[in-house]
Structure 1
Amino acid sequence: MRKRRDGEVFRITGARQGLAEDVRGRQRRYVISMSLRTVAVIAAALLWNVERHVAIVALVLGMTLPYIAVVIANAGRENAPGLPSTFVTPPARPMIAPPAHDRAEAGAEDAPADSGAPRGEPGDRL
């Protein structure tokens, strides 16, 4: 005989990614952003006497990237609104119909009240 479990079933695909993986991803995004900032500041220093307009754009980019990198790195863990529900409802078991001779007996006893038979007036005795 099989044990019957009526509890909810957890779906593993609805689980978040691990904390270590999340932190590693944030660190990677931060290092990439700060590397771009370093390249922008070096480009601004090299281009200052050659192309001043490009150097100013690179300098502004180098000044704003740290703020953007910190905001992106501290954005928090991902939300998973598109994932399915974490609970799976168990499938409904189909009812087994009673044997045909039981249905015939039950049908005769449980005839509906409005079976087309003439009704008496209120107050008539049956």
Structure 2
Amino acid sequence: MAHSLHVPTLHRRPSHDVQSATSLRSSPHDDRRSRMRKYTIAMSIRTVCLILLVVIPDWWRYVFGVGAVILPYIAVVLANVGSSGAAEPVRPGVVPPLAIEQRRP
């Protein structure tokens, strides 16, 4: 008599449990680079405000003066925020059942 072989089926996780590389935080190098770019842009605008403070007469001088005083604070806050990272923490998925289970009599 021929015995039929029992071929176990492989169990796969549902697609919603699979982790995505796009849900990971950015690398420290990319994060630092992004923060430095924001800081440099804000401080460049401050430099322009300082130059315009000396060049522009009348009440506009006060607008550029306020910009030159407030922009360093804004630049530091932007630089310290860091990346937003993942929307939610990456957690390990559900452990799939064993593909080969022990036979029960």
TM-score range, shorter chain: 0.5 to 0.7
| Alignment partner of 1:63 is 2:69 | yes
Do the aligned partners of 2:50 and 2:68 also contact (CA within 8 Å) in 1?
Answer: yes
Look up the match of 1:77. Answer: 83
- Give the TM-score normalised by structure 1: 0.55
Flag the structure with larger Rg: 1
Percent of paired sites with the same residue: 35
Matched letter for residue 14 of structure 1: S
Do the aligned partners of 1:11 and 1:86 also contact (CA within 8 Å) in 2?
Answer: no
RMSD across aligned positions (CA): 3.2
More RCO (CA 8 Å, sep 6+): 2
Structure 1 residue runs of 4+, over 4 Å off?
A: 4-9, 83-91
Do the aligned partners of 2:19 and 2:90 also contact (CA within 8 Å) in 1?
Answer: no
Aligned-residue offset at 1:76: 2.7
Aligned-residue offset at 1:38: 0.2
Equivalenced residue count is 86
What are the equivalent positions in structure 2 for 1:80-95 lying under 5 Å apart?
80-81=86-87, 87=92
Distance 2:71 2:61 in 1: 15
User: For residues 11-53 of structure 1, what are the alpha-carbon distances to aligned partners after superposition, in whole Å with 9 as ceiling and x for unaligned?
Assistant: 2221111110000000000000000000001001011xxx320
Where does structure 1 lack aligned partners over 5 or more consecutive residues? 92-126
Match 1:19 to one of 16, 21, 28: 28
Look up the match of 2:19. Answer: 10
